[in-house]
């Protein structure tokens, strides 16, 4: 099973706990501009091949967190679109 599929399966029960307002807030969530700027800077360093081990660990952590958030946002949006949440 892929990591993405496993995350999807892990998050499904959590998504079912969301009411309409919570699902909307998750679906509308945006990463802070300061965090996005850091990700962009690390991505540029990665493309140049100049990441330190510490930078690489930070970049991987941020990318993994972004993947987690993206999956949760998609699941929240699907929940809003597919059910008649009160």
Q: What is the pLDDT along the chain (86 residues), one digit of tens a residue?
A: 887 788 888 888 988 899 999 999 999 999 999 999 999 999 999 999 999 999 999 999 999 999 889 999 999 999 898 866 65
Q: Which tokens hold the place of 54?
A: 């510490």
Spans of all domains in the chain: 3-81
The predicted pLDDT at position 46 comes to 96
Angle at CA of residue 14, ends 73 and 65, nearest 5°: 50
Query: What pTM was computed for the model?
Result: 0.82
Q: Which H or E element spans position 13?
A: helix 3-15
């Amino acid at each position: 099973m892929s990591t993405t599929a496993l995350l999807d399966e892990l998050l499904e029960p959590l998504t079912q706990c969301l009411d309409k307002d919570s699902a909307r807030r998750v679906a509308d969530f945006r990463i802070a501009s300061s965090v996005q700027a850091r990700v962009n800077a690390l991505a540029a360093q990665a493309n140049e091949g100049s990441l330190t081990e510490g930078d690489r660990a930070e970049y991987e952590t941020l990318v993994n967190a972004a993947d987690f958030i993206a999956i949760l946002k998609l699941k929240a949006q699907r929940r809003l679109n597919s059910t008649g949440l009160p």
